[in-house]
Structure 1
Amino acid sequence: MTFQPFVLGTGLAAWSLLNSTLSSQKAAFNSKSVTQSDTRYFKDVFAALNTPTDIVSDRRILRVVLGAYGLSDDIENRHFIKTVMAEGVADQSALANRLSDRRYRSLARDFDFSRSPPAHKDAIGLVEKTVEAYLAQSFEIEIGKSNADMRLALGFKRSLEEVAQASGSNNTAWYQVLATPPLREVMQTALGLPSEFAQLDIDEQHQRMMDKASQVFGTSIISELSGKENADQITRRFLVMRQAESIGQSSSLQTALVLLSAIPVRR
């Protein structure tokens, strides 16, 4: 019998319970025979991945690679993924650089076949990093089958840290947040920005989100927001707002105010 990660309840109560069982659930999930088989196989053949075709033609390898970058839904889009990796990121006209979702750029940067040798051949620790990310993302996908908000919450801090580390400036980091659908959804919801916000010019979205973050969290610096205290606060606000939305539009604002009163606002 295989282990299925689970969430009980909704909102902050469910989040608290999930965190209390997280280590044991992850250990049980990672010990599944299929998971262990895929990660072991990926490690064994990694050195022999010489072309994009080597990756996209092997479903087990492709599952691990795409899963590590949160792109599992693209597993049937082999030609598209092959092009992303084949063109890499060095050329500004490369496909990955023209896509709004930064996850494709991360994939094309680490598995860049436009250069010789391919980027992954020289990347120290990429095997372990890919496997670790694959396991984390796979667990979150399973959690998301019963509660999509918990999946977003679980991946938020890790993804925000990755943006903070990969971006050369705070302005760039905020554009990366806007270009990463899961990060954008958590941040936009936590800041109470309406769905119509996405219709604004991207530069205006950028400025408004930074201003709102400063107002609500006391800082708009991504490296600070990715720290444990701030990331936890953002996550909790996201879940509170989601819980309020689920109760109903007529009472959502009042509910959110009551629930948020338990979360101190940084000044």
Structure 2
Amino acid sequence: MSFQPFVLGNGLSAWVLLKSTLGTQQAAFNTNYVTQSDTQYFKGRFADLSTPDDIVSDRRLLRLVLGAYGLSDDIESRHFIKTVMSEGVSDPSALANKLSDRRYRALAQDFDFSKSPPGHKAIAGLAQRTVDNYLAQSFEIEIGKSDTDMRLALGFKRSLTEVAGTAGSNATAWFQILATPPLREVMQKALGLPTEFSKLDIDVQHERMMDKASLVFGTNEVTELAGDPMADAVTRRFLIMRQAETLNQSSSLQTALILLSSIPKLR
């Protein structure tokens, strides 16, 4: 029987408890038979992957690859995923470059079958990185079955660290946050930006989110926000703002302010 990750309670208290059991739960999840079998199967096949069909025609491989990029919901969209990987990212007109969700570009950049040999064969350590990402995101998905906010909170620091390390500039990093739905949701809620915010022009969203981050967290540098103290502060604020939504309108603001005052100041 495989291990089922769990969440007890909700909101900030659930997050504190989850973090205290995270190492044990992840170890149990990563070492169960099903997970081990899938990751070993992928590693065994990795070097022989020569065409996108090798992945999309094998549901077991496709599930792992998509899972590593947070795209598990696309498991039935085989033709779409095949096109993303077939076209790669070198051509500005490639499908992945046209999509607003940066996760598709990350997939096409790593598994780029527009090249010969395919791009994944030239990236050192990609097989293990794919497995590590798959394990992390699969665990988050399982946690999400109990609490979707816990899933978002778990993935936030990992994804933000990745953006900070690959964006090239702080301005680009913020555009990538806006183009990564889970990151965007956490950051937008933590900054208290309304749902209607997403209807604004993307450049306006970019400017306002950076300005709001400076105001709320004292910095808009993504490399700083991805560090342990700041990432935890953003995550806690996200969960507090979510909690406030579940309270009645008359008391939600007061409760949120009380909860927010309990977060230690970082500056």
How far does residue 31 in structure 1 lie from its aligned partner after superposition?
1.6
Do residues 165 (structure 1) and 169 (structure 2) align? no
- Is the 8 Å Cα contact of residues 216 and 265 (structure 1) preserved in structure 2? no
TM-score by length of 2: 0.98
Q: Which residue of 1 aligns with 2:39?
A: 39
Q: Which residue of 1 aligns with 2:128?
A: 128
Q: Which residue of 2 aligns with 1:5?
A: 5
Unpaired runs of at least 5, structure 2: none
Q: Quick one: which amino acid aligns to residue 233 of structure 1? A: A
Q: Which residue of 1 aligns with 2:49?
A: 49
CA RMSD of aligned residues (A): 0.9
How far does residue 248 in structure 1 lie from its aligned partner after superposition?
3.1
How far does residue 175 in structure 1 lie from its aligned partner after superposition?
0.3
Q: Matches of residues 1-267 of structure 1 in structure 2 within 5 Å? A: 1-267=1-267
- The separation in 2 between residues aligned to 1:266 and 1:41, in whole angstroms, is 45
- Is the 8 Å Cα contact of residues 85 and 112 (structure 1) preserved in structure 2? yes
- The separation in 2 between residues aligned to 1:2 and 1:219, in whole angstroms, is 43
How far does residue 168 in structure 1 lie from its aligned partner after superposition?
1.4
How far does residue 249 in structure 1 lie from its aligned partner after superposition?
3.2
Q: Secondary structure at the match of 2:47?
A: helix
How far does residue 265 in structure 1 lie from its aligned partner after superposition?
4.2
After superposition, the C-alpha distances for 1:192-246 in whole angstroms (9 at most, x for unaligned) are: 1111111111000000000000011111111111011100100000001011112
After superposition, the C-alpha distances for 1:181-200 in whole angstroms (9 at most, x for unaligned) are: 00000000000111111111
- Is the 8 Å Cα contact of residues 216 and 266 (structure 1) preserved in structure 2? no
Q: Secondary structure at the match of 1:139?
A: helix
- The separation in 2 between residues aligned to 1:3 and 1:119, in whole angstroms, is 35
- The separation in 2 between residues aligned to 1:42 and 1:226, in whole angstroms, is 30
Tell me how many residue pairs correspond in the alignment: 267
Q: Secondary structure at the match of 2:112?
A: coil
Unpaired runs of at least 5, structure 1: none
TM-score by length of 1: 0.98
- The separation in 1 between residues aligned to 2:204 and 2:251, in whole angstroms, is 30
How far does residue 62 in structure 1 lie from its aligned partner after superposition?
0.5
How far does residue 111 in structure 1 lie from its aligned partner after superposition?
0.2
- The separation in 2 between residues aligned to 1:58 and 1:248, in whole angstroms, is 49
